[in-house]
């Protein structure tokens, strides 16, 4: 026996919600879950024993949608989240790069700004960034990742002028005199990315190591992550190679289920032709669904809506694909034995995606196809029923509430808002729900912050009192379930992980308090004390 964890409160999260005191782990799996006496009987001379001192042990968390490589990559960029003015953005960017050696041809990169927080109440533009540098190209992405701003140097490298024509599925903004302002949206972002020099394999591995270290410290032992088209100029085969090498070197502390995003359908067909499909790989690294981007974000009013925005009636957002194009993506996946994970924030985006899934199942019926929608924010009663009827998984990010609960009623009005972020309703309607963070395209990924938002429906400061749409609060058990069993179901691994049961992977972590007993306002202050992946201690506070 390799390891015994004893003297704990083991919350198995199994169907009967059995509690235990100890677990025995051998070759990366739980072999016994029970009372101290019965588990300790399995002790052999090489068994390591850890006393949990009465603390709670729970299954390792699964972040069912995020961007792992982008997280690591983001650490090479200046973080602008929460900046309250354009002046602050300029100052932070200057000081982040002050002492850094910038290689010839390299760009300064930043992320996380949000014009809704700026006291100037406007977007950043090229002239703001020219205050940082007119010699080195700069791009700074908005918090949503769907909009970026560049300086004049970058604009000249990209080659966009007042005479350039717009590209389909995106746009670059022009000022009153027709000059580009430096703001790029949706598919127009490719114009920037294509000019930024790509990192090498070693750089990619270092980024993933930074991300896996941070996640282990949060008790998160599995991620479902969208990485293949993350960094401009990086081939997806190099990303897959980086993961495989890191697992072989024993450096990964997080299992990976890859949500595969492609820039065009031809590239995706080639991927399928190589033999990749959902489930390809092993319990460390697996190919998951095809990721499809179908609309933008609520903050920038690019989420695709059935009705115009209440606070800007000139727009209903942007759809990345027509119905026919979406049908083709989903059917191609279905034919290639791949499920889909379709990014949808607006209700119109979801209706479109669900229609494509329904059609694919009719044209090419397959058993147990666990298609999914990522985000699922602006719903209505009907939509939620449709998820349930079609068996489509909802990947939700409770942490989005932290910011969105302040803007959603402005964006779409109070009436429509009451059926949005309806996590409880989803569960009550029998929808399979998986919890995640979407980090770094949100404010944070921390486990207890995410649980706090799900259970209290308040931001981290406790606003609003009593919670936003309080009838949609999840119980602790429901919140824990979506981050464990819910995630495992989404990757077809409900028999492999998501609960602490004999025969399952020994992925688990120790909490500082009993989350089922503590006052719910205290959840956000809890800590992770130890994390185990496959029975290996990968984090200790
Ligand atoms: Zn995402």
CA–CA distance, 400 with 374 (Å, rounded to integer): 12
Pick from 392, 382, 477: which is nearest to 422 by CA?
382
C-alpha 296 – ligand 1 centre gap (Å): 11
- In the chain, % of residues over pLDDT 70: 100
C-alpha 342 – ligand 1 centre gap (Å): 10
Pick from 464, 438, 462: which is nearest to 524 by CA?
462
C-alpha 144 – ligand 1 centre gap (Å): 9
C-alpha 47 – ligand 1 centre gap (Å): 41
Please report, for the chain, the start and end positions of each structural domain, with discontinuous segments joined by +: 3-60+504-540, 70-193, 201-490
C-alpha 489 – ligand 1 centre gap (Å): 19
In the prediction, which pLDDT does 452 show? 98
C-alpha 114 – ligand 1 centre gap (Å): 17
CA–CA distance, 252 with 221 (Å, rounded to integer): 10
C-alpha 368 – ligand 1 centre gap (Å): 24
C-alpha 442 – ligand 1 centre gap (Å): 9
C-alpha 159 – ligand 1 centre gap (Å): 29
Tokens 């949609």 appear where?
472
C-alpha 226 – ligand 1 centre gap (Å): 7
Per the CB < 8 A criterion, the answer to whether 458 and 520 are in contact is no
C-alpha 111 – ligand 1 centre gap (Å): 14
Which residues, 6+ apart, have CB-to-CB distance to 398 below 8 Å?
A: 423, 435, 450, 451, 453, 454, 474, 479
C-alpha 31 – ligand 1 centre gap (Å): 36
Number of Cβ atoms within 10 Å of the Cβ of 194: 10
Going from the C-alpha of 237 to that of each of 168, 230, 240, 296, the distances in angstroms are 27, 12, 5, 27
Going from the C-alpha of 282 to that of each of 3, 255, 256, 489, the distances in angstroms are 23, 10, 10, 16
C-alpha 46 – ligand 1 centre gap (Å): 43
Residues in the chain, total: 541
C-alpha 343 – ligand 1 centre gap (Å): 7
137: left (phi over 0), alpha (psi -120 to 50) or beta: beta
C-alpha 441 – ligand 1 centre gap (Å): 6
C-alpha 444 – ligand 1 centre gap (Å): 13
C-alpha 518 – ligand 1 centre gap (Å): 31
In the prediction, which pLDDT does 97 show? 83
In which residue ranges of the chain is pLDDT below 70? none
CA–CA distance, 112 with 98 (Å, rounded to integer): 19
| CATH domain 70-193 topology | Diaminopimelate Epimerase; Chain A, domain 1 (3.10.310)
Packed helices 236-248 and 201-216: angle between N→C axes, nearest 10 degrees: 60
Which residues, 6+ apart, have CB-to-CB distance to 285 below 8 Å?
A: 240, 243, 244, 247, 255, 256, 258
**DSSP bridge pairs for 530:** 510, 540
C-alpha 439 – ligand 1 centre gap (Å): 7
C-alpha 395 – ligand 1 centre gap (Å): 10
C-alpha 374 – ligand 1 centre gap (Å): 8
C-alpha 459 – ligand 1 centre gap (Å): 20
In the prediction, which pLDDT does 390 show? 98
In the prediction, which pLDDT does 50 show? 98
C-alpha 354 – ligand 1 centre gap (Å): 18
C-alpha 394 – ligand 1 centre gap (Å): 13
C-alpha 66 – ligand 1 centre gap (Å): 5
**DSSP bridge pairs for 78:** 110
C-alpha 340 – ligand 1 centre gap (Å): 14
C-alpha 118 – ligand 1 centre gap (Å): 24
Q: Say yes or no: domain 201-490 is CATH 3.20.20.140.
A: yes
Number of Cβ atoms within 10 Å of the Cβ of 41: 12
Same fold, 3-60+504-540 and 201-490: no
C-alpha 158 – ligand 1 centre gap (Å): 26
In the prediction, which pLDDT does 90 show? 97
Per the CB < 8 A criterion, the answer to whether 150 and 130 are in contact is no
Number of Cβ atoms within 10 Å of the Cβ of 159: 9
Q: Where are the beta strands (DSSP E) in 236-312?
A: 255-261, 285-293
C-alpha 191 – ligand 1 centre gap (Å): 20
In the prediction, which pLDDT does 203 show? 87
**443: preceding bond cis by omega (within 30 degrees):** no
CA–CA distance, 374 with 396 (Å, rounded to integer): 7
Please report how many Cα atoms fall inside a 13 Å half-sphere around the Cα of residue 122, on the Cβ side: 9
C-alpha 300 – ligand 1 centre gap (Å): 15
C-alpha 457 – ligand 1 centre gap (Å): 21
- In the three-class reduction of DSSP (H, G, I as helix; E, B as strand; rest coil), residue 30 is classed as strand
Q: Please list, residue by residue across 332-364, b when 16 or more beta carbons sit within 10 angstroms of its beta carbon and e when fewer do.
A: bbbebebbbbbbbbbbbbbbbbbbbbbbbbeee
Which residues, 6+ apart, have CB-to-CB distance to 59 below 8 Å?
A: 12, 13, 484, 497, 498, 499, 500, 507, 508
CA–CA distance, 479 with 481 (Å, rounded to integer): 5
User: For the residues of 342-359, what is the DSSP string, one character each?
Assistant: EEE-SHHHHHHHHHHHHH
CA–CA distance, 122 with 272 (Å, rounded to integer): 44
C-alpha 85 – ligand 1 centre gap (Å): 26
DSSP state letter for 161: -
C-alpha 241 – ligand 1 centre gap (Å): 22
C-alpha 261 – ligand 1 centre gap (Å): 10
C-alpha 146 – ligand 1 centre gap (Å): 10
- CATH architecture under which domain 3-60+504-540 falls: Roll (2.30)
C-alpha 243 – ligand 1 centre gap (Å): 19
**DSSP bridge pairs for 435:** 396
- The pTM for the full model equals 0.86
C-alpha 365 – ligand 1 centre gap (Å): 28
- In the three-class reduction of DSSP (H, G, I as helix; E, B as strand; rest coil), residue 529 is classed as strand
Number of Cβ atoms within 10 Å of the Cβ of 438: 24
C-alpha 180 – ligand 1 centre gap (Å): 28
C-alpha 520 – ligand 1 centre gap (Å): 28
The structure tokens listed for 114 are: 């949000």
CA–CA distance, 275 with 85 (Å, rounded to integer): 49
Pick from 379, 410, 371: which is nearest to 472 by CA?
379
């Amino acid at each position: 026996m390799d390891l015994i964890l004893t003297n704990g409160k083991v919350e198995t999260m199994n169907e009967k919600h059995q509690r235990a005191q100890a677990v025995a782990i051998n070759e990366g799996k739980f072999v016994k879950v029970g009372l101290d006496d019965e588990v300790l009987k399995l002790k052999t001379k090489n068994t390591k024993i850890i006393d949990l001192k009465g603390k709670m042990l729970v299954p390792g968390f699964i972040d069912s949608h995020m961007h792992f490589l982008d997280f690591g990559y983001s650490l090479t960029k200046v973080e602008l989240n929460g900046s309250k003015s354009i002046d602050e953005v300029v100052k932070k960017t200057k000081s982040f790069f002050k002492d850094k050696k910038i290689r010839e041809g390299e760009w300064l990169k930043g992320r996380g700004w949000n014009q809704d927080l700026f006291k100037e109440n406007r977007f950043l533009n090229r002239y703001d960034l020219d205050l940082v540098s007119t010699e080195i190209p700069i791009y700074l992405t908005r918090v949503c990742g769907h909009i970026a701003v560049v300086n004049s140097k970058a604009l000249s490298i990209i080659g966009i002028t007042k005479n350039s024509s717009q590209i389909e599925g995106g746009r670059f903004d022009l000022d009153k005199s027709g000059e580009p302002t430096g703001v790029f949206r949706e598919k127009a972002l490719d114009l920037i990315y294509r000019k930024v020099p790509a990192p090498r394999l070693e750089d990619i591995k270092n980024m993933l190591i930074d991300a896996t270290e941070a996640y282990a410290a949060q008790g998160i032992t599995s991620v479902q992550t969208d990485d293949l088209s993350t960094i401009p100029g990086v081939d997806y085969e190099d990303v897959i190679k980086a993961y495989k090498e890191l697992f072989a070197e024993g450096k990964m502390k997080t299992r990976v289920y890859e949500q595969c995003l492609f820039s065009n359908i031809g590239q995706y067909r080639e991927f399928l032709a190589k033999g990749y499909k959902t489930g390809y790989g092993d319990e460390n690294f697996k190919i998951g669904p095809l990721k499809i981007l179908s609309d933008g974000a609520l903050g920038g009013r690019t989420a695709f809506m059935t009705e115009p925005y209440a606070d800007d009636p000139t727009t209903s957002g942007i759809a990345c694909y027509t119905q026919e194009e979406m049908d083709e993506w989903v059917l191609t996946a279905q034919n290639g034995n791949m499920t889909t994970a379709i990014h949808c924030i607006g209700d119109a985006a979801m209706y479109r995606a669900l229609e494509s899934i329904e059609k694919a199942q009719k044209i090419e019926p397959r058993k147990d196809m666990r298609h999914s929608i990522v985000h699922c924010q602006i719903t209505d009663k009907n939509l939620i029923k449709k998820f349930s009827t079609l068996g489509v998984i909802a990947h939700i990010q409770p942490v989005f509430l932290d910011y969105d609960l302040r803007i959603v009623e402005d964006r779409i009005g109070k009436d429509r808002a009451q059926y949005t972020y309806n996590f409880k309703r989803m569960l009550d309607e029998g929808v399979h729900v998986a919890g995640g963070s979407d980090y770094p395209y949100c404010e944070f990924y921390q486990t207890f912050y995410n649980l706090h938002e799900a259970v209290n429906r308040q931001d981290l400061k406790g606003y609003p009192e009593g919670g936003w749409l309080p009838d949609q609060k999840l119980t602790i058990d429901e919140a824990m379930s979506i981050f464990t069993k819910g995630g495992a179901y989404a990757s077809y691994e409900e028999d492999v992980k998501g609960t602490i049961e004999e025969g399952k992977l020994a992925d688990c972590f120790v909490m500082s308090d009993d989350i089922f007993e503590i006052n719910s306002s205290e959840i956000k202050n809890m800590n992770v004390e130890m994390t185990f992946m496959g029975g290996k201690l990968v984090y200790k506070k």
